[in-house]
Amino acid sequence: MSSYAEAAHGADKASPASADRLPALREQLDVLDDRILDLLIQRARVVEDVADAKRGLGSIRPGREAAILRRLLTHHQGPLPRGAIIRIWREIFASSIAQQQNLQVAVCDPAMDGRFLAAAREHLGALTPMRVYRSPAQAIGEVADGRASVAILPLPGEGTGDGNGPGWWPGLLQHNAKGRIHVVARLPFWASRPEGTASVQALIISNTPADPSGEDISLIALEVPAQVSLGSLSNAINAAGIKPLSMLVHRPSGVPVAFLLVEVDGFVTADDPRLGLIAGLQAPPMIVGAYAVAIAEESAA
């Protein structure tokens, strides 16, 4: 007998006593729904007070959102799927941001197939206004010019640095040097990917600096001699007390220097004294941003 048939057969055998309980159980659900709504209304009023208290400051706090989700999942018990908790609170976060600002999102979706748009909506809210662009340079430009608050970009990789492929990140450094754009999050934040959900990897950039979540990875940019050995540079970073996790290199033609984008462990700020201990650099290190470490699959199942 199929599982569907077994379920139907079980339903047919439901005792009259069980059926008699349904009205009372549904009434309990109605009462709980009303209580949930009352709490959401109360939360929204507190968000209004928060907005007044931090007027002029950014309303996007991906690090705090990540810390809240980790705390909720740590305390969670019962049959409600952990993935559902993440989805519910992501919409709560989106509504809270919408209360505080008119959030506009620029999504780079190179294949224009909707995958990056789906990832953006999963994280930033189903009803958040979004515009889609084919190239990373276009999406970055929207944030740089103030037309968008955040942009969703494919994970950076090796490339020409012209802003039209995975090597888009050197162009971001020009804006970051002026303090205008920062990496603030990585998608997806929860690793469990049920069938049909967005599976792309992306970064979120914003005109608001990253905030710590308590478990983070930072991105720093380094300018080094063009022929530097990545192994020796990794040793120099380790010797400074910073743990490198990955490196991308860009060697522009006709220039005696190379630029590296380095993922490092922890939340590193511009005034971290360890940055000044990295040997062999042509210029001071630049903080590109940071993102919260994703929730592992077993935690969000």
**pLDDT tens-digit readout, 162-214:** 566 678 999 888 887 777 899 999 999 987 777 777 789 999 999 999 999 99
Q: What is the pLDDT of residue 259?
A: 93
Determine, yes or no, domain membership for 258: yes
Longest dimension (CA), the chain: 83
Q: What is the pLDDT of residue 49?
A: 93
Domains held by the chain: number: 2
Determine, yes or no, domain membership for 9: yes
Determine, yes or no, domain membership for 29: yes
**Residue 252 lies in domain:** 216-292
Sheet holding 216-225, edge to edge: 130-133, 105-108, 150-154, 202-206, 182-187, 286-292, 216-225, 257-265, 244-250
Percent of all residues in the chain with a pLDDT value above 90, rounded to a whole number: 73
Band of residue 1 on the pLDDT scale cut at 50, 70, 90: very low
Determine, yes or no, domain membership for 281: yes
Mean pLDDT value across the chain: 89
Determine, yes or no, domain membership for 102: no
Global pTM value: 0.88
Q: What is the pLDDT of residue 231?
A: 94
CATH number at residue 249: 3.30.70.260
Determine, yes or no, domain membership for 150: no
